[in-house]
Structure 1
Amino acid sequence: MREQDSPIRRAATKEYLKGIPSLDSEELILVVSSLWNIAMTRPNDQDLPSLGVFECMADLIKKGLHDRTWLLTHQNIYIPYYAAHIIGSYTMNEVESAVRAVDSGVIPPLLELLGGKMSWVEQRVAVRALGHLASYEMTFEAVQAYEDEIIKLSMHLASSCLEVVYNMFVGVKTRRRARYHVNLLTRGVEGIEMENQKAEEWASQLQCWSIHLLNCFAIKGRSLNLICKQEFLKDLCEMWGGLVNQSSPAGVGLIRILCYSELGRESISESRHVIENLCHLSRSSDDWQYMGIDCLLLLLKDPKTRHKVFDVAASYIIDLFELRNLGNRSNVGEGITRALVNNFKHHQNSEIENPSVRKAIKELRSLKVDKRKREQTMSSENLEEIRVMVNVLKQEGNHMFFLGQIEEAKLKYTEALELCQSMHRNARVALLSNRAQCSLLLRNPDSAISDATRALCLCSPPNTHAKSLWYRSQAYDMIGMSKESLLDCITFINLCIKMNTENRLKIPYYAVRMISKQMDSTWIFRAARLKALRTYRRVREKENKEKEGVQQRNKNYNISGLSTILEEPFPGNDGCERKRIEKAKRRSKLISS
């Protein structure tokens, strides 16, 4: 590699790469780890890929999978991981390298790793590499040749990987964890905290990269009949990137791709669980909020699915009708309003299960059309009178609130909202936020969430009103929606930090306490931990029952089994017979003495 003459260096390097798989010494791991370092630091360099590094890595993976004696010699157990990682690094950005990798035969050994021939650690780098190869048009066809196997393995991996990582690593005592797993995760940094932190990160990546691989097929309309199985769609709702993998939309990203196909929309509309999760996402401060809205609008625009989702979706997204811009999308609220009103017209002659939806949409039409028309015809003097009246009602509501008259305060805020002009968005934000606080104190979390969401939609940019975020976080906590509560609380703290003009950073203690509570509830291994605990309890209960059964059988044996001599019934007169036996005992004692 250090040879100055380029042709000589390239020829020597190419020859050396060919001989690496046949090396049988402790230096092999040093060679492969050095190649890994080069691939990590210079992934776009075409030098090694053009000289045969992919053939070398494919041969090493095959050798590790099929020669267990070799794998367990020296430190060779690390080599399949490093080899798959090198393939993934060089194919991450360069389509030319991806073509070379496919031509070098890397897909079959990567598929064996994906199938779990070694462990979840190797599965992680295998699914990463296959995801890169499936991302390019020029190499997708080669990956597609194994479509059925890849789809099934990726679905299984996405659904089960968190449980596998917990059972095989996180939930295992430190001294019983695979040593080479610990070394790969921590890179020499000691401590169980670091091990668990990295395991959480890698498990999340394993799940997100499995979903990405499925995305590559779904976006081309491939294997939708497999991906759209109800059980898997339900699992997808619980898969989220966010805090651990900030760039990955995880499950909702695949759901949105499915919503662009007819089969996908039909399958998703059949699951109330999926629809409700999309509704919750659309009203949250999650970075992927817009994806939830996109999915619901696609379902509402489809004549075949809108009647299945309208009642559920309308009761949630009606709170978003005043949302202007979200990310790079403009007039989001207008699109939601059109979808709701058009579907309402479609349902005019049919029965809507939720009467509150019918009422809410009528109010929406009144606010968006009738109220605006009235305001346009009013004089400036009338508008000023209304503004003053709104301010008076708000002050009365505040006074009643501080006196503890919460219901009366809520009514005053409602009166003020009915009068407040639609153009006065900031005033309406304050009124809606105050009314959300009243609903919270009155133990009506659904109403609090609705008002807080409407207030956050009126903000510019949206989701930037601190009080509304905190009220909604508390309301979500009341109904057990830990993820949504956590996201609102984190956004609230970020706003507090931005608004803090002092040099000393102050984070509200109550928000820290809320985050601490919700982090435990939303831990990615929580479901796996609960399942493991339930399994452990069932085993213990079974063992205890078996133990009780043995004790009961022993007890029954002593009572009704073969009688001892003392338990034999005395024949004839029990009293006389007992006296004769006692005399015999005394006589035997005298003789013995």
Structure 2
Amino acid sequence: MDLNCCNKKQLNKKTSSSSSITIDEEEEPSCYNSSFCCFFCAIREPNPRLRRSALATFFHEMPHRDDQSHVLVMSALWSIAMNHPVDPELPMAGALRCMSLLVTKALADPAWLLGHQNIYIPYYAAHVLGSYTIRLPALAGLAVEAGAVAPLVGLLRGSMTWVEQRVAVRAIGHLASYDTTFPAALRHADELVPLAMRVASTCLDTVYNQFVGVPPDEREQYHRDLLTRGLGGAEMENRKAEEWASQLQCWCLYLLSCFAVRDKTSHDLICRDVGFLKDLCRMWGGLVNGDSPAGVGLMRILCRSEVGREAIAGCREVVTSLCDLSRSSDDWQYMGIDCLLYLIEDLNTRRKVMEAAAPCLVDLAELRSLGARRKLGDRITKALLLHFDHEVKVGGEAERAIKSMWDLKVERKKREEVMPKEEVIERQALAAIKKQKGNERFWSGDVEEAMVRYTEALELCPLKRRKERLVLYSNRAQCYLLLREPDAAISDATRALALARPVNGHGKSLWRRSQAYDMKGMAKESLMDCIMFVNGWFHGKEYDERRRRAKVPYHAARMINKQMSKAGLFASLATSKKIKTKPGNYDGDDDGAGDEREEEIGIGSGSSMSGLGLPTILEEPWSRRAKKGLDG
């Protein structure tokens, strides 16, 4: 091999910037006795034919040699695969087969992991396999031909640690997402499906008990190095551990979703475990994994099959969680709505879920669109009123909710369509007077009377006057909030947000619903609404002055800090101090001046705190291609 050898300065410069792992610098590397130097000499060879030949020779020999510099080669391969996942040169030269053999070697010979810095190699090898299979089916097929599936399954079993499980399930998920390579994963379905379910349910406990909850000086050193690349202290390690724990859970759910989409028999395996379904509705990915639909993505797929609908409809806790998601500002709100619609459109599951689902969906019946979904409110109305005239009445909250929607969306709509224009104008004027009287009663302290006036105004206000009705619902939600009726406040705030343009774009309604969810102890939903409220504070058209000051309202900052401590992935595992407040003292209940343009009662002024400090994903985003394939 006629290759130019790296000198020591170039070698050290190349490795120090990409890895915290070090090698002995006293020995001068040689192209003929150091695999590390041969790899980098080969990768820099300008002649394509010679480069391919040298790389092929290197990858063929690497698994059969024991060299202290292997870990540096793996770190470099990791960086190359992350930055150039569609470049076929290294995979075609044998890199994927080399990675598969290295993982197999680690699983078969644990003693080998104790030599040099080989403990890092399985992680890097599985990560390289996952990075090269994330975009191109051809490279995924090459990984299957290289025998990657079996060793990856071995890592997912927990043969090493949760760190290796994360990259193993990531790679298997990529292989399971293509038509051409899914059969290779399907051959392991009897093991992979239960295994992914178990890891998804237990991984947060595992990461907390084995890393986050352990004093820094007692943590696995190679875990610390991989998490932060040698930068940052314990706080950065904890943030990255939370991020990785979320990714491990979400990739397990993604793998299950691949099976659920492509193999209907897997629905039986998943739905047989009621405990897993209950765990599933609590898997939301956290704030660090916003691109993943997490638990609701899998539930939505299950709701497309009869087996899945029967299992979900039979678990009240899961149905309740779908209702809560549907009345939230979460990015995956539409998935919660879809799940509920699947359940009530199926006559076999309709009666089981109507009591919980109907009141929730009625609040959303005036949605015009949600993202790319057009006329969503019409679909909700049609589904709820299915067989309304002759189905057996079950009584309770569901029947009352559907009856109110019939009166609003059918009877009242018909009346207003034939109503003379003069009468419409008169009713609109009367509604404005009622609203003004309601505002006066509210500011004088008579909240109950104000609520009555707002209700009368809603009965008069024409359905086409969406903005005026939005304000009335939002103001009435504030009345319910002060009367300590959070369920009614959530219902009215949701109706206001359904009328908003864009949907969920009315700041005061978001803040009021956030407080109502806080009263009910629903930290995640409260947090989502509060974050959306703060986003509107800085980016809404009417908030130029506030945006220039660039300060988060104090009451909103307090609410976010409070709910983040409760809604975090490790919240139920960590021991934290609870801040006690006086009875009835909720963040931001002391409202300031009203908005004169809408004559709406206020939400508070507040000041201070310039940032939220929310963690963000620093590695790779969730695969948009994969998400598109499963959500459609």
Which residue in 1 is equivalent to 2:26? none
The normalised TM-score by structure 2 is: 0.82
1:71 corresponds to 2:116: no
- Cα distance in 1 for residues equivalent to 2:191 and 2:403: 51
Which residue in 1 is equivalent to 2:378? 334
- Cα distance in 1 for residues equivalent to 2:179 and 2:51: 33
Which residue in 2 is equivalent to 1:528? 573
Amino acid at match of 2:563: Q
Match of 1:513 among 545, 558, 566: 558
Contact 2:126 2:167 in 1 (8 A): yes
- Cα distance in 1 for residues equivalent to 2:240 and 2:353: 40
* Cα deviation, residue 225, structure 1: 1.3
Secondary structure of 1:45's counterpart equals coil
The normalised TM-score by structure 1 is: 0.87
1:22 corresponds to 2:67: no
Contact 1:320 1:453 in 2 (8 A): yes
- Cα distance in 2 for residues equivalent to 1:407 and 1:250: 41
Amino acid at match of 2:549: R
Which residue in 1 is equivalent to 2:92? 50
Secondary structure of 2:248's counterpart equals helix
Which residue in 2 is equivalent to 1:209? 251
- Cα distance in 2 for residues equivalent to 1:163 and 1:188: 25
Amino acid at match of 2:103: I
1:389 corresponds to 2:430: yes
User: Whose Rg is larger?
Assistant: 1
- Unaligned stretches of 5+ in structure 1? 532-593
* Cα deviation, residue 350, structure 1: 4.3
- Give matches, 1:169-248, under 5 Å: 169-220=211-262, 221-228=264-271, 229-241=273-285, 243-248=287-292
* Cα deviation, residue 386, structure 1: 1.4
**Deviations along 1:461-508, whole A, 9 cap, x unmatched?**
110111111110000000111111000000000001113313221321
Secondary structure of 1:238's counterpart equals coil
Contact 1:62 1:109 in 2 (8 A): yes
- Cα distance in 2 for residues equivalent to 1:378 and 1:140: 60
Secondary structure of 2:484's counterpart equals coil
Give the paired residue count.
528
- Cα distance in 2 for residues equivalent to 1:468 and 1:35: 50
Which residue in 1 is equivalent to 2:50? 8
Deviating beyond 6 angstroms after TM superposition, the runs of 4 or more aligned structure 1 residues are: none
Contact 2:103 2:122 in 1 (8 A): yes
**Deviations along 1:229-258, whole A, 9 cap, x unmatched?**
211111100001252111100000000000
Contact 2:514 2:526 in 1 (8 A): yes
Contact 2:327 2:333 in 1 (8 A): yes
**Deviations along 1:178-230, whole A, 9 cap, x unmatched?**
00000000011131110000000000000000000001110121321111121
* Cα deviation, residue 264, structure 1: 0.5
Secondary structure of 2:544's counterpart equals coil
Contact 2:435 2:472 in 1 (8 A): yes
* Cα deviation, residue 351, structure 1: 3.0
Which residue in 1 is equivalent to 2:416? 375
Which residue in 1 is equivalent to 2:352? 308
Amino acid at match of 1:259: C
Which residue in 1 is equivalent to 2:28? none
- Cα distance in 2 for residues equivalent to 1:429 and 1:350: 31
Match of 1:260 among 288, 298, 304: 304
Contact 2:286 2:569 in 1 (8 A): no
- Cα distance in 2 for residues equivalent to 1:372 and 1:29: 70
Which residue in 2 is equivalent to 1:497? 538
Match of 1:271 among 315, 319, 330: 315
Contact 1:242 1:287 in 2 (8 A): no
Contact 1:157 1:210 in 2 (8 A): yes
Contact 1:242 1:249 in 2 (8 A): no
**Deviations along 1:153-188, whole A, 9 cap, x unmatched?**
100000000000000000001110000000000011
Amino acid at match of 2:550: L
- Cα distance in 1 for residues equivalent to 2:417 and 2:297: 42
Which residue in 1 is equivalent to 2:458? 417
1:251 corresponds to 2:292: no
- Cα distance in 2 for residues equivalent to 1:521 and 1:495: 23
CA distance change for structure 1 residues 128 and 477 in 2, over 3 Å: closer, same or farther?
same
1:317 corresponds to 2:361: yes
Which residue in 2 is equivalent to 1:465? 506
* Cα deviation, residue 40, structure 1: 1.3
Amino acid at match of 2:287: L
Contact 1:320 1:454 in 2 (8 A): yes
Contact 2:246 2:286 in 1 (8 A): no
**Deviations along 1:87-142, whole A, 9 cap, x unmatched?**
11111111111111111111111111000000000000000000001111111111
Which structure is higher in helix share?
1
Which residue in 2 is equivalent to 1:125? 167
**Deviations along 1:387-413, whole A, 9 cap, x unmatched?**
211111111111110110000100010
- Give matches, 1:552-563, under 5 Å: none
Match of 1:99 among 136, 141, 146: 141
* Cα deviation, residue 363, structure 1: 2.0
| Percent identical | 55
Aligned-residue RMSD, C-alpha: 1.3
Contact 1:306 1:343 in 2 (8 A): no
Contact 1:310 1:343 in 2 (8 A): no
Match of 2:195 among 139, 142, 153: 153
